[in-house]
């Protein structure tokens, strides 16, 4: 049963130096054509939308779409989805785009949650990352979201090249003040084909040291816990009851449908992905040749471990056995050595990473892939 609907809007107003997501800067004309294509794709899959409980509009930067165009798109979504069954409806937004009108449109269309990319409250780091907002813009946006009554997540980054301990503490002080319902705090990962990767390879920028990244990560864990955030996934912290229902669908390997450029879907024990090229996607919608996503390799026994172990509670071993008719240690006997080396532990029915193991999880993943 498909529980989650993901909608990808790949447009951004600027391209960040570290980003390897599927995104582009484009014309208003292309945006209009794309939003129409999204509606057509959803209409095609309307039978699969019957039981969905969560919607997530991500990107790119969904808020870079003009308000009128977003309003019209959400009107169509209202027709296709029974909103009375939706438990969580998130949209990603940039601080620059948060206005009373934008928030009013979201409320009108049953959006429950805004996920805003802050990344840092230090001006020089924001410029280094290629972000165009300022700390004042972030503060104003948060005031507006709070007034609107929507619940909200803030995305932050650490281990940014050049980030000092003072920069990190400043971000944590602001987080205390902002009182968001949810915080996603990612360690900046150096991805291929990014400006940042090029700069580091050319020795124009110094990479962030691994040991310091771990120190920062541990400080974040401690400080967020003091503020009442429960760490429930490697990079995600929530106030009680505000864990992301949509992302938990991914981490529990439940079924979801992805709509739009490069969006992936998973149902019927199959993983599928849409084209990554805008012209191919739009043509596929236009001439109705995009009737099924391309099928990707998918190994549910492995994926359950890869995504499930990202949760701090880990995976239920009895549920694993029931689903795959064999225990997790029967399928992956090599996991036992990580119990001995204290990277994994068993807590009741759950297999999970230890706090040490979370930072060395790659050792486990490399062994089982
Ligand atoms: S990080 Fe977000 S805003 Fe920046 S280019 Fe990537 S998708 Fe766009």
Q: What is the pLDDT of residues 130-148, one digit of tens each?
A: 999 999 999 999 999 999 9
Give the residue from 250, 276, 302 where a domain finishes: 250
Mean pLDDT of 220-225: 98
Going by alpha carbons, the residue nearest to atom 5 of ligand 1 is 15
**Does any domain span residue 298?**
no
In a domain, 93, yes or no: yes
pLDDT band at 181 (very low <50, low <70, confident <90, very high): very high
Domain boundary among 205, 231, 250: 250
Q: Do 33 and 205 form a contact (C-beta atoms < 8 A)?
A: no
pLDDT at 292 over 70: no
Is 299 a member of any domain? no
pLDDT at 289: 81
Domain that holds residue 114: 2-250
Could you tell me the two tokens for 159? 């281990």
* Helices first, then strands: H and E counts in the chain: 16, 15
Per-residue pLDDT, averaged over 275-287, amounts to 92
Site to probe by mutation for ligand 1, drawn from 26, 94, 117, 193 as the one with most ligand atoms within 8 Å of Cβ, is 117
Ligand 1: list residues with CB < 6 Å: 12, 15-16, 19, 21, 23, 59-61, 117
pLDDT band at 62 (very low <50, low <70, confident <90, very high): very high
Residues 6, 89 share a domain: yes
State in Å: Cα 280 to ligand 1 middle: 22
Average pLDDT of span 249-275: 95
Both 202 and 332 in one domain: the answer is no
Measured over the CA atoms of residue 178, residue 183, residue 184 and residue 187, the dihedral's sign is: positive
What integer best gives the mean pLDDT of the chain? 95
Would 238 be classed as within a structural domain? yes
What is the percent of the chain with per-residue pLDDT over 90, rounded to a whole number?
93
Asked if residue 344 and residue 238 are part of one domain, the reply reads no
* 262 in any annotated domain: no
Question: Is residue 105 a part of any domain in this protein?
Answer: yes
| Ligand 1 centroid, distance to 10 Cα (angstroms) | 9
349 and 201 belong to one structural domain: no
Tell me which of 9, 19, 94 to substitute to probe ligand 1's pocket, judged by most ligand atoms within 8 Å of the beta carbon. Answer: 19
Is pLDDT at 293 greater than 80 in this prediction? Answer: no
**Residues 210 and 333 both lie in one domain:** no
Claim to verify: residue 6 and residue 136 sit in the same structural domain: yes
Question: What is the model's pLDDT at position 291?
Answer: 62
CA of 96: how far to CAs of 29, 56, 350, in Å? Answer: 22, 20, 42
Is residue 314 over pLDDT 80? yes
Q: CB under 8 Å to 358, separation ≥6 — which residues?
A: 234, 312
CA–CA separation, 214 vs 268, rounded Å? 38
> Which letter does DSSP use for residue 130 in this model?
T
| Greater pLDDT, 20 or 123 | 123
Nearest CA to ligand 1 atom 1: 19
Mean pLDDT of 20-26: 88
The number of folded domains in the chain is 2
In a domain, 89, yes or no: yes
Within this chain, do residues 319 and 223 fall inside the same structural domain, yes or no? no
The whole-angstrom separation of Cα 369 and Cα 366 is 6
Q: Is the pLDDT of residue 309 over 70?
A: yes
Residues 120 and 213 in one domain: yes
Domain match, 30 and 160 both:
yes
Last residue of a domain, one of 250, 268, 297: 250
Give me the CATH number covering residue 9: 3.80.30.20
Atom of ligand 1 nearest to the CA of 20: 6
Task: Give the model's confidence band at 231: pLDDT under 50 very low, under 70 low, under 90 confident, else very high.
Answer: very high
Q: Are residues 321 and 187 in the same domain?
A: no
| Whether the Cβ atoms of residue 272 and residue 292 lie closer than 8 Å to each other | yes
- Best probe residue, ligand 1, of 26, 57, 60 (max atoms within 8 Å of C-beta): 60
Question: Does 344 lie in the same domain as 204?
Answer: no
**In-domain check, residue 240:** yes
Q: Distance of CA 70 to CAs 67, 103, 132, Å?
A: 5, 11, 22
Residue 113, pLDDT above cutoff 90: yes
Same domain, 318 and 204: no
């Amino acid at each position: 049963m498909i529980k989650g609907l993901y909608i990808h809007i790949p447009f951004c107003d600027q391209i960040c130096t570290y980003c390897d997501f599927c995104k582009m800067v484009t014309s208003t004309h292309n945006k209009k054509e794309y939003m129409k294509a999204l509606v057509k794709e959803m209409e095609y899959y309307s039978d699969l939308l019957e039981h969905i409980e969560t919607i997530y509009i991500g990107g790119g930067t969904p808020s870079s779409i003009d308000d009128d165009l977003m309003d019209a798109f959400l009107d169509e979504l209202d027709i296709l989805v029974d909103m009375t069954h939706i438990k969580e409806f998130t949209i990603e937004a940039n601080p620059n785009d948060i206005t009373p009108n934008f928030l009013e449109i979201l409320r009108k269309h049953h959006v429950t949650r805004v996920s805003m990319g802050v990344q840092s409250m230090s001006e020089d780091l924001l410029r280094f990352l290629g972000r165009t907002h300022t700390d004042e813009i972030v503060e104003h946006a948060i005031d507006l979201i709070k007034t609107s009554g929507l619940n909200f997540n803030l995305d932050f980054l650490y281990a940014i090249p050049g980030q000092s301990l003072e920069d990190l503490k400043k971000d944590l002080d602001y987080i205390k003040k902002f009182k968001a319902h949810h915080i996603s705090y990612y360690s900046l990962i150096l991805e291929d084909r990014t400006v940042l990767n090029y700069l580091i390879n050319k020795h124009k920028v110094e990479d962030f040291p691994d040991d310091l990244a771990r120190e920062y990560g541990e400080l974040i864990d401690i400080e967020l816990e003091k503020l009442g955030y429960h760490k429930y996934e490697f990079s995600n912290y929530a106030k009680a009851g505000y864990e992301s229902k949509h992302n938990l669908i991914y981490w529990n390997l439940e079924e979801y449908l992805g709509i739009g450029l490069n969006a992936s879907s998973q149902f019927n024990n199959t993983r599928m992905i849409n084209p990554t090229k805008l012209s191919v996607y739009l043509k596929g919608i236009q001439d109705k040749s995009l009737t099924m996503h391309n099928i990707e390799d998918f190994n549910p026994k492995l994926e359950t471990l890869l995504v499930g172990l990202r949760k701090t509670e880990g995976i239920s071993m009895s549920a694993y056995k029931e689903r795959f008719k064999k225990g997790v240690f029967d399928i992956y006997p090599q996991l036992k050595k990580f119990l001995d080396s204290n990277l994994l532990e068993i807590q009741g029915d759950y297999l999970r990473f230890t706090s040490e193991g979370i930072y060395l999880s790659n050792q486990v993943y490399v062994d089982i892939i």
